[in-house]
Structure 1
Amino acid sequence: MEVTPRSRWQIRLENTVFRLLTIAVVILVAWLSTRYNYQSDWTANSRNTLSPASVAVVQAMAERIHITAYARDSELVPIRRHISELVAKYQRHNAAIELEFVNPDEQPERVRELGVINGELVIEYQGRTERVRNVDEQNLSNALQRLQRSGERSIVFVSGHGERSPAGKANHDLGQFGAALQSKGLKVSTVNLAETLQVPPDAAVLVIAGPQIDLLPGELTLIKGYIDGGGNLLWLSDPNDPAGLAPLADTLGVKFTDGTIVDATAQLLGIDHPAVVVITAYPRHAITTDFANVTLFPFSRALTVSAPQGWEAQPLLVTAARSWAETGELSGDISFDEGADTLGPLQIGWVMTRALQQNEQPEQSDSEQRVVVIGDGDFVSNAYLGNAGNLDLGLSVLNWLSSDDSFVSIPARVISDRNLELSETTAIAIGALFLVGLPLAFLVAGITIWLRRRRR
């Protein structure tokens, strides 16, 4: 190609235009990056991304959320950076979140007045305030969830008959479950109907959790009146419960099957005791939406429901076909006895709903009355609450009963093991590749290129 002054100017013009277009593209990309945001989380277990449950909570909050973080600005202990990164995840889903940092050393009087510590968050929403000391996604989302509740939902446990206590610490009590309910913004209390002679008017849900002695006829009348008036009920019944609640069962159309359920699935999974029921699948219902965790039910009983007029009933918890209701002793060799035992699958949990008439609706209730009957109270007891998905299921049941369907359990994000374990042979091979192989490859490539250029 002959180089002429004209061709030289054409080449210069093309290069200039190319440079200008490149600069224009860079400027356009930079401008677009300020208008649009895209992020992708490739980490194990998506630990840098909010869980769907947290996203649902923060997106449902329409008004301004102000977060004040009381944290020192220190490079050695980067608390502020940790808080900023966590809150930024929420801000990507809700632009109404504001974050303000306060140095406790610069405002000691304010810190003493509020009683906060270094690293603590104070969250304000609609005139209500919540605090978070252990700053992580689970605690922050739970705090936002509590703030989101427009009204206080009261969960009232019947007491006075040896029931499982929502504040008790014994293995059979529900102390840990009660604390979990309170962490979700629910008010937990007890009522002795023999003393108060009424169910508290603000009760969103009444809970009967395994009484050990019969309720008085007058107490049963109060509970029946509460149900007739549109109240929501959670009834946790155990195989050895007294027969004094038979009038309540008749009111709801509930019939319990004799015996304790034995599940062969549990033994196949390495659970020693035969009276532990393993449930892995759930029917389509608001309680079990997106719920896929295994749940364990120790010492449970089966039940059936013939829905009274105006009610609708649906099984919630169903055992496997290899289970049965054992009427004999749970010791030694246990096997199914034809004629005495009841073969599975068996229902151990039911949900019931009833459309309320206008004159039946309590002030705090919605237009639908809700009842859940479960033939086991151990699954949310202190001894078994931490097993599998028991806590999440229990919280979902109470959220649904209290008509807070939108509230969900915020699961703890478990970080996968990030340690890379290499065998000695693999470590030597990788070391040789980077220390010897790659430098040698570059050396050979360089010599080859040099020799080819020299021959030209």
Structure 2
Amino acid sequence: MNRTQQRTNVLISVVTVLAIAFMVNYLASRHYARFDWTASGMYTLSPKTEAVVDTLDAPLKIYVLWSRTDPLYPHVIEVLKRYQSLSGHLSVETLDPDINPDQFAIVSQKYGRVRTDAEGRSGLETGLILVYGDNARFIASSDFEDFSGLMFADPHGGDPPPSAFKAETELTSAIAGLLDDKERLVCFTQGHGEWGLEPSASQNLSHLKRSLQLDGFSVIAIDIDAAARIPDTCSLVVVAGPSRPFLPEEASILTDWFHRGRSLLLLLDPVPRQSDIEVTGLEKLAFDAGISLSSDIVLETDPRRLVSQSPVTFTASTFFRHAAVRPLAGAVPPPVVFSSARSLQVVESAHAVAEPLVQTSPMSWGETDIASLQDADEAPVQDAADHDGPLHLAVVSTRHSDTPEQAGRLIVVGDSDFLSEPLMRNGALFNQDFWNALVGWLGDARTLMAIAPKNPEQVHLTLSQRDSRNLLTSLGLQILLIAALGAFIVFGRRK
């Protein structure tokens, strides 16, 4: 065979290989498939997710505001690739704060949230932003794994407690929410010393308003005293920390709202007077729903629950497994801080069923001697008139109805200070999660896809000292054997 024929054969071989590579790449792009070899199917999307993504009829842009050094990052990216494979309308853009600081800041300031770390430093929160037309959803990075432990923590730091990977649950619910064109309006009452919604108010929830808007809600203030009834467009009515009582006719408007099968959230702090607690005017509404408002101030003495030297500021001890707070229920309660709260009691009701949501530790009590608390010279001491712990801090009531859709929903929390901006933005606390859970259940905000979180297997190899020595010896002998074999071959060829 002459040189020309050899060159021709080489050229034909190269062209053939390139053609095969091109065809393989073309077929792979036309028949895209990814395989999940994890034991728990951590990256496998459910048929419900496929059905939701298939309904996209316009571009959905997902911004990944995440550092690539985060152990969770590659797992989230892998899941997002699975979503991309389902629809040509879905695109993903990653913005690492270390690599793309300017773009990260622009997108975060437009759609994201500000959080404060344990050292008091403020920064933009990492997570995903989903933009679909004029609507946007923000999913915090902390929402992708269960609060009970760090799934992908460094194994050298010890075995993490059992956890769950919730990427599909969060993403599919967010996409379904964007596709749902139903307007959800949260209406905050005003006129009774409640928290305001604008930054100009001395006590304001402007940060909460922004958070709700990011979650797809519209937010307005309503004056109960100026209206004959609450607008039907409201999905949820919130009474946030009134300092003055509601008049009977105003309370009847809220009562009628609840009786009509609507949702109501009452955040009722104890407002001290000289020797007792100011009435709210909503006592009868709550009592008829199976909830009694105690005229006390909760004091916590369990050192594990205190966040300062004051017994009035503490973290909750227990979250019950009701749907309204189920994401927070677990063997180890997440830190949700309450301050200057009143206790609540569950009572019998002929018209509703009440259940506790949150309670304090057994070492707490409800102080009824308000005058003694205002005396800074003496430490409070529990007596027979006080209420023994554990005490309920939040109670839910569902009104009886022939159909679930017409059953009124009511949640009463004996505190509104948990909504303060420092607590809501503190990344070490779960106050934001507690609020999201309440509003999500009352406002029916999430399209519940019933997609179970994935439980990745934690496989660890534990070796004794003897096993470690044997392993090292075996590896060393293998290296020496390979080196000897290589030397034998080299010297054999030289001969």
Partner of 2:82: 92
- CA distance change for structure 1 residues 143 and 256 in 2, over 3 Å: closer, same or farther? closer
8 A Cα contact 1:57 1:145, kept in partner: no
> Aligned partners of 1:268 and 1:59: how far apart in 2?
45
- CA distance change for structure 1 residues 305 and 166 in 2, over 3 Å: closer, same or farther? farther
> Aligned partners of 1:248 and 1:165: how far apart in 2?
23
Aligned-pair identity in percent equals: 21
> Aligned partners of 2:74 and 2:362: how far apart in 1?
51
- CA distance change for structure 1 residues 261 and 146 in 2, over 3 Å: closer, same or farther? same
Determine which of 290, 296, 307 is the counterpart of 2:337: 296
Question: How large is the RMSD of aligned CA atoms in angstroms?
Answer: 4.8
Determine which of 316, 322, 330 is the counterpart of 1:285: 322
Say whether residues 1:264 and 2:276 are aligned partners. no
Say whether residues 1:152 and 2:187 are aligned partners. no
Partner of 1:229: 260
> Aligned partners of 1:206 and 1:135: how far apart in 2?
25
Structure 1 SS opposite 2:408? strand
Determine which of 388, 397, 409 is the counterpart of 1:343: 388
- CA distance change for structure 1 residues 266 and 407 in 2, over 3 Å: closer, same or farther? farther
Determine which of 119, 130, 135 is the counterpart of 1:130: 135
Partner of 2:126: none
Moved more, 282-291 or 94-103: 94-103
Partner of 1:209: 240
> Aligned partners of 2:176 and 2:303: how far apart in 1?
35
Matching residue's letter, 1:63: T
Determine which of 435, 456, 460 is the counterpart of 1:394: 435
> Aligned partners of 1:329 and 1:99: how far apart in 2?
60
Moved more, 172-181 or 136-145: 136-145
Matching residue's letter, 1:389: F
8 A Cα contact 1:65 1:96, kept in partner: no
Task: Note the C-alpha offset of 1:193.
Answer: 1.9
Matching residue's letter, 1:210: G
Task: Note the C-alpha offset of 1:202.
Answer: 1.2
Structure 2 SS opposite 1:89? helix
Task: Note the C-alpha offset of 1:451.
Answer: 7.3
> Aligned partners of 1:288 and 1:102: how far apart in 2?
32
> Aligned partners of 2:252 and 2:259: how far apart in 1?
10
Structure 1 SS opposite 2:285? helix
8 A Cα contact 2:306 2:314, kept in partner: no
Moved more, 335-344 or 248-257: 248-257
Structure 2 SS opposite 1:383? helix
Structure 1 SS opposite 2:379? coil
> Aligned partners of 2:262 and 2:218: how far apart in 1?
16
8 A Cα contact 1:161 1:211, kept in partner: yes
Moved more, 208-217 or 165-174: 165-174
- CA distance change for structure 1 residues 256 and 449 in 2, over 3 Å: closer, same or farther? same
Matching residue's letter, 1:302: S
- CA distance change for structure 1 residues 244 and 57 in 2, over 3 Å: closer, same or farther? farther
Task: Note the C-alpha offset of 1:35.
Answer: 5.4
Task: Note the C-alpha offset of 1:392.
Answer: 0.7
List aligned pairs for 1:169-184, cutoff 5 A: 172-184=203-215
Task: Note the C-alpha offset of 1:236.
Answer: 0.4
TM-score, reference length from structure 1: 0.64
**What runs of 5+ residues in structure 1 fail to find an aligned partner?**
1-26, 42-48, 72-77, 104-115, 359-364, 409-437
Say whether residues 1:377 and 2:423 are aligned partners. no
8 A Cα contact 1:266 1:274, kept in partner: no
> Aligned partners of 1:402 and 1:344: how far apart in 2?
31
Task: Note the C-alpha offset of 1:179.
Answer: 1.7
Partner of 1:165: 196
Partner of 1:415: none
List aligned pairs for 1:110-121, cutoff 5 A: none
Task: Note the C-alpha offset of 1:442.
Answer: 6.2
Say whether residues 1:243 and 2:279 are aligned partners. yes
> Aligned partners of 1:389 and 1:161: how far apart in 2?
28
> Aligned partners of 2:297 and 2:444: how far apart in 1?
32
> Aligned partners of 2:137 and 2:299: how far apart in 1?
43
Task: Note the C-alpha offset of 1:284.
Answer: 1.4
- Deviation by residue 1:234-281 (Cα, 9 ceiling, x = unmatched): 000001173141343344343222321111235665532211232243
8 A Cα contact 1:67 1:97, kept in partner: no
Task: Note the C-alpha offset of 1:149.
Answer: 3.3
Task: Note the C-alpha offset of 1:167.
Answer: 3.5
TM-score, reference length from structure 2: 0.59
- CA distance change for structure 1 residues 250 and 66 in 2, over 3 Å: closer, same or farther? same
8 A Cα contact 1:154 1:187, kept in partner: yes
Task: Note the C-alpha offset of 1:306.
Answer: 1.9
- CA distance change for structure 1 residues 131 and 371 in 2, over 3 Å: closer, same or farther? closer
> Aligned partners of 1:70 and 1:314: how far apart in 2?
39
Task: Note the C-alpha offset of 1:86.
Answer: 6.7
> Aligned partners of 2:373 and 2:300: how far apart in 1?
15
Structure 1 SS opposite 2:204? coil
Say whether residues 1:64 and 2:64 are aligned partners. no
8 A Cα contact 2:354 2:396, kept in partner: yes
Moved more, 325-334 or 216-225: 325-334
8 A Cα contact 1:58 1:90, kept in partner: no
> Aligned partners of 2:290 and 2:139: how far apart in 1?
46
> Aligned partners of 2:62 and 2:262: how far apart in 1?
43
8 A Cα contact 1:239 1:300, kept in partner: yes
> Aligned partners of 1:237 and 1:51: how far apart in 2?
45
> Aligned partners of 2:436 and 2:402: how far apart in 1?
28
8 A Cα contact 2:307 2:315, kept in partner: no
Structure with bigger gyration radius: 1
